[in-house]
Amino acid sequence: MQLRWNDLGRPRADRADSRTVEIAGFPLTPLAVSSADRFLLMAEPGCCQGCVPRNRLAVVEVSADRPLKLGSGKLTVSGTWRVSSDPERWRYRLENAELKPGLTRRAALAASALFCLPVPAMAQLGAEAADGTAVDIHSHAGNLIWLSFGRGQSVPVADPMRQGGMSAIALAVVGDSPIIKLTDGRLRPSRDPRPGELYAFSQRSFPALHALTREQGLPIVRTAADLRAARSSRPSVIVAAEGADFLEGQIERLDEAYQYWALRHLQLTHYRPNELGDIQTEPSVHGGLTSFGADVIRRCNQLGIVVDVAHGTYELVKKAASISTKPLILSHTSLTERPLAWTRRILPDHARAIAATGGVIGLWPVTAYFPNVMAFAEGFAKTAELVGVDHVGLGTDQLGLVGASALPSYADLPQLAAALRTKFNDAETAKLLGGNYRRVFEASVA
């Protein structure tokens, strides 16, 4: 049985008691030795005892019948898994350990820049990131997309949020889901929607979101005061929609979603050029933002709904910025200097247009752009250098990415927080992980 670090502290790891398991990690011993029959195993490399996480769930105590050659890189170790209930010991032990082929020291050094981080919490699974006030500004966590179709089962949201220090997520239904298909490696509209189809779908997807929050004990954020009170000890949900397609050109439905479904975050477009404007991944048909799109922005400003221009073209963003009286959000993207055709990434001027409104650009952890958390933190640094640290945030697109994520679970948030702290101070890190979005939400939501 193979265990991953995300399994620790969860039922899967506890059920493995007395079984033969395999786990990969970085060894640490009290003294600099090349081999040992007892050592600690961690998810990320450390250089000294000060690098050992405080969380007893984040370390495996390893014992072997003979000294094992450790080296300085990642090891794959197999043995008998033991689970301890003694609060004074590490929760997990691996006995009768044997080495399996793993990364060489050279490969480990080439793959990671995580040695001797000033914040040795890289492997901690505790809720310490940004003091538990982090906010994900774009998410489909809990399997919401499939739940909206009445398929599958929910997956844990609240527990990983508590574990990693995430206080709130903008959980998004997807307005154009019924007509979107993966075609030639990218998501595209497969057909025109039938009259009333996308509104009818919203009447299934919003209830699915509310049912998920009730099931997992996640309060819904309706006011700025609600978000100010949100902490990872009692994680909350901001109701969001990715694509305003459910409006179908009828602005009164925006008021309905605000009042009945507690919609507080609206992304204007998604993968279909809709009644509000053009998108990055299809040919432009409106020249940017439509007059209806402009009316929706004005009504969002009046009601108290955050306006999100992710997926919109640069022309849409420029017009939205000239109309909105509130800061704009672009919830999930990343910077590029050389855009490919139909890219979802943005050029510097696109980012500056968001920042000029006082808004926030959310970075998404797509592994094609950011293969690990250190690379992801570097993306934060480059974006902050361009637009300022007050205008960057975290938009994971959890369970909405076509490919892999460098931050697959909210329980992994402490790793990102530690990586960010190699480039930013504590106050700046707190802004990036949620403070900036909180400011925009407070300015936008009545």
Task: Kindly state the average pLDDT of the residues 146-156.
Answer: 91
pLDDT digits (tens, 9 = 90+) for 19-41: 999 999 888 776 656 788 888 88
pLDDT at res. 112: 42
pLDDT at res. 125: 33
CA angle at residue 332 from 248 to 149, to 5 degrees?
A: 50
How would you classify the pairing of strands 263-267 and 236-242? Answer: parallel
Tell me the pLDDT band of 281, cut-offs 50, 70 and 90.
very high
Judge whether 357 lies within some domain: yes
Task: Kindly state the average pLDDT of the residues 67-76.
Answer: 79
How would you classify the pairing of strands 236-242 and 186-189? Answer: unpaired
pLDDT at res. 71: 67
Task: Kindly state the average pLDDT of the residues 132-146.
Answer: 95
The pair of structure tokens assigned to 357 is 């409104």
Q: 269: which residues sit within 8 A by CB, 6+ positions away?
A: 243, 244, 276, 277, 278, 279, 309, 311, 312, 316
Task: Kindly state the average pLDDT of the residues 408-419.
Answer: 92
Task: Kindly state the average pLDDT of the residues 203-216.
Answer: 97
pLDDT at res. 33: 65
For residue 36, give the CATH number of its domain.
Answer: 2.40.50.870
Share of the chain above pLDDT 90, in %: 72
> CA–CA distance from 343 to each of 163, 313, 338, 366 (Å)?
34, 10, 10, 13
pLDDT at res. 72: 54
pLDDT digits (tens, 9 = 90+) for 158-175: 999 999 999 999 999 999
Same domain, 174 and 78: no
Nearest to 206 by CA among 242, 159, 231: 242
Q: Last residue of a domain, which of 64, 81, 111? A: 111
Q: Last residue of a domain, which of 61, 84, 111? A: 111
Same domain, 386 and 281: yes
Query: Taking 60 as the threshold, does the pLDDT of residue 267 lie above it?
Result: yes
Share of the chain above pLDDT 70, in %: 89
Same domain, 174 and 70: no
Same domain, 271 and 242: yes
pLDDT at res. 347: 96
Query: Taking 50 as the threshold, does the pLDDT of residue 230 lie above it?
Result: yes
The helix/strand/coil state of 350 is helix
Task: Kindly state the average pLDDT of the residues 53-81.
Answer: 84
386/363 Cα distance (integer angstroms): 14
Same domain, 193 and 78: no
pLDDT at res. 53: 64
Same domain, 100 and 134: no
Judge whether 49 lies within some domain: yes
pLDDT at res. 106: 41
Same domain, 106 and 135: no
pLDDT digits (tens, 9 = 90+) for 86-105: 887 889 999 999 998 654 44
Indicate the number of domains in the chain.
Answer: 2
Same domain, 134 and 76: no
pLDDT at res. 70: 80
Look over the chain and give the mean of its residue pLDDT values, rounded to a whole number: 89
Neighbouring C-beta atoms of residue 190, cutoff 10 Å: 13
Tell me the pLDDT band of 113, cut-offs 50, 70 and 90.
very low
pLDDT digits (tens, 9 = 90+) for 298-350: 999 999 999 999 999 999 999 999 999 999 999 999 999 988 888 999 999 99
Task: Kindly state the average pLDDT of the residues 201-214.
Answer: 97
Task: Kindly state the average pLDDT of the residues 51-73.
Answer: 79
State the residue range of the domain holding 94: 5-111
pLDDT at res. 25: 84
Q: Last residue of a domain, which of 79, 111, 143? A: 111
Tell me the pLDDT band of 370, cut-offs 50, 70 and 90.
very high
Query: Taking 80 as the threshold, does the pLDDT of residue 5 lie above it?
Result: yes
Query: Taking 80 as the threshold, does the pLDDT of residue 140 lie above it?
Result: yes
Query: Taking 60 as the threshold, does the pLDDT of residue 130 lie above it?
Result: no
Query: Taking 70 as the threshold, does the pLDDT of residue 50 lie above it?
Result: no
